Amino acid sequence: MGESPAMGFEVGEIGDGLTRIVDVLGNHAYLVEGIERALLVDACGGFGDLRSCIDQLTDLPVTVVLTHGHEDHMMGSYWFGEARLSPLDGGLPCWKGAEERTRRIYEQVVAEGIVDGDAPFALREGSRPVELPVTDGDVFDLGGRRVRAVGLPGHTAGSMGYLVEDCGVLLSGDAVTPIMCLFFEESLSIQGWRDQTLARMAELPFSHFYTGHHDHAFEKACLASFDAAGAHALEDRGMPWEHNRLTEFRGIIHLCPSDTLDADSVDFRAVIDRWHELPPRVRKGRRRR
């Protein structure tokens, strides 16, 4: 990967006409180019001038599509006039909530010196885009390349993946990740995620997928291990978990058996379920001497 001349992004090719774009907080977006048009899948978290970055990468007209309605995927769309989002996720409360959380994150990362307060910031210098709908089965013809929207409910009710048909790549957002977050009010249950996301992905014609927060690709064969993680989480007691920046986000994390504790590893697996009271631990009695 290399640093973009547009401040605050790293960019790298992951395939022919496929570019990964990563902001300063590690949020990923993907540019898919055809002959006539380009598709920007997700828009990072609003840190850095994403519009200028995209303009340096392509001269094609760009359509912005969002995998789901969370701030770390949608706030960079404030540099663009329009963005497509599933109606199951979108609407004014979604955008207002994302804006409020982004402001709080911005204050924290500027105070910590992670982000320069003078650097471009979409929420300050851009404006809320016009929200247009995208639904399961919609096809974006980019000229010599088709990208199909695929409903993958679980992380959110309206989560979408974008299947680049000619190269067998699925851009899946947060639909399936090594730390699978199902603690939001808008998340499905663990079993719902297994039934509606993993089962749907198993039917799709792709060889590997890219997430919203990892540089490496995941092979389709990995889906079995994600399903096993879900099955483990349903039986596991788990332990309390809290978001390190947005403390209202909390849940129960289930660490799944694995050979690694590196959360960035392709082999790490964990599931974070909604917050609930944990049953007491069963303590073994002491043996009498």
Is 48 inside any structural domain? yes
CA–CA distance, 272 with 240 (Å, rounded to integer): 9
What mean pLDDT is predicted for residues 53-70?
97
Distances (CA, A) of 132 to 65, 81, 89, 158, 282: 9, 11, 12, 14, 52
Is 260 inside any structural domain? no
Confidence band for 49, pLDDT divided at 50, 70 and 90: very high
Is 274 inside any structural domain? no
Is 55 inside any structural domain? yes
CATH code at 170?
A: 3.60.15.10
Residue 158, domain extent: 2-174+186-221
Is the pLDDT confidence value at 289 over 60?
no
Is 279 inside any structural domain? no
Is the pLDDT confidence value at 1 over 80?
no
Distances (CA, A) of 190 to 145, 193, 230: 34, 5, 6
pLDDT for the residue 56: 95
Is 163 inside any structural domain? yes
CA–CA distance, 135 with 63 (Å, rounded to integer): 15
CA–CA distance, 171 with 208 (Å, rounded to integer): 9
Beta strands in 86-205 (DSSP E): 130-133, 139-141, 146-151, 160-164, 169-173, 179-181
Is 211 inside any structural domain? yes
| DSSP-assigned letter for residue 214 | -
pLDDT tens digits along 63-96? 999 999 999 999 999 999 999 999 999 999 999 9
pLDDT for the residue 138: 98
Residue carrying the six token digits 């590893």: 265
Report the number of distinct structural domains present in the chain.
Answer: 1
pLDDT tens digits along 25-45? 999 999 999 999 999 999 999
Is 68 inside any structural domain? yes
